Amino acid sequence: MSYDLTVYTKRELARFALQDLYSAVSANGASGMKARLGGDAGKPLEFGGISVNGPLAVEPEDIPGHVAKVAKGMRYLYQLSTSYQSETNMAVQVDLMSRFARLIADQGSGVWIDEQSGEVWRGERRIATEPLEGGERYDEVEFQWYVLQSALPSDAVGIYVDACTRWLLGGCPRLSRVGTATASHSSTSSSLMLSN
């Protein structure tokens, strides 16, 4: 399996500058570098299991819309990829690759994109997310769950409301801003009433 990041920059970074940036984020330093810097400029470089393809010149119309909205004047593209065998290995490799992408973006006055999530980052700050395909939005989400009444704590509804407020706040704007919640629980049923 692989994990991919993309970096867009305003300034081109020399291929040998990538070695210095990798050394700054890697515990192994430059010893993790497998590719020669001389040679063919078209071949990807390998840094400790991270493949870097670039710099590649990019035209404004080739930059995804959600990136172009927040990052003007990008002229170069770097594609980073890493392979992993396990979840533990993935976490270590993706962390290293993310820090490497962040440095490339910082040095080139650009942004980096997590291709799996569509998130656009400037430094350590997320500045945009790729919109849902088709612009789909949901007006309502319905949860149903089943539990033995005897296993249900007396404040089950309150626990549920607290969890929704914490984890689904974007989905509970009325509850958190202008509405009220009334919860009731008896030996036979639990209910939650939301009102404005």
The more confidently predicted of residues 181 and 68 is 68
* pTM of the predicted model as reported, rounded to 2 decimal places: 0.62
The rounded distance, in Å, linking the Cα atoms of 192 and 3 is 42
pLDDT on residue 151: 83
Nearest in space to 4 (alpha carbons), one of 82, 60, 58: 82
CATH 3.30.70.2920 fits 2-129, yes or no: yes
Burial letters for 151-182: b for 16+ Cβ neighbours within 10 Å, e otherwise? eeeeebbeebbeebeeeeeeebeebeeeeebe
- Write down the domain spans for the chain: 2-129, 140-195
The rounded distance, in Å, linking the Cα atoms of 43 and 28 is 23
The rounded distance, in Å, linking the Cα atoms of 127 and 186 is 46
pLDDT on residue 135: 58
pLDDT on residue 36: 42
Instruction: Enter the tokens of residue 37.
Output: 């810097």
Residue 141 has pLDDT above 70, yes or no: no
Long-range contacts of 41-47 (CB under 8 A, 24+ apart): 41/15, 45/15, 45/18, 47/18, 47/19, 47/22, 47/100
| pLDDT tens for each residue of 144-167 | 777 787 888 888 877 877 777 777
| pLDDT tens for each residue of 79-94 | 999 987 777 778 888 8
